[in-house]
Amino acid sequence: MGNANTPSAAVALIAAMVTPALLILGAASLVASALVRMGRVVDRTRVLAAAIHAGEASRLGVGEARLRIWLERHAIRARYAERSIALLYAAVVVFIATSLSIAVDRAGAGLPPWLPGALAIGGTFLLLAGGAFMVAESRLSSRQIEEEIADALARLKETHP
pLDDT in tens, 57-107: 777 777 888 888 999 999 999 999 999 999 999 999 999 999 999 888 888
What are the residue boundaries of the structural domains of the chain, listed by start?
9-159
Cα–Cα nearest to 141, from 56, 31, 33: 33
User: Interior CA angle at 32 toward 47 and 143, to 5°?
Assistant: 50
Q: What is the mean pLDDT of the chain?
A: 88
pLDDT the model gives residue 106: 82
SS3 64: helix
Q: What is the pLDDT of residues 11-60, one digit of tens each?
A: 777 777 788 888 899 999 999 999 999 999 999 999 888 888 888 877 77
pTM of the model: 0.81
More confident residue, 56 or 1: 56
Q: What is the pLDDT of residues 112-140, one digit of tens each?
A: 989 999 999 999 999 999 999 999 999 99
HEC secondary structure over 17-40: HHHHHHHHHHHHHHHHHHHHHHHH
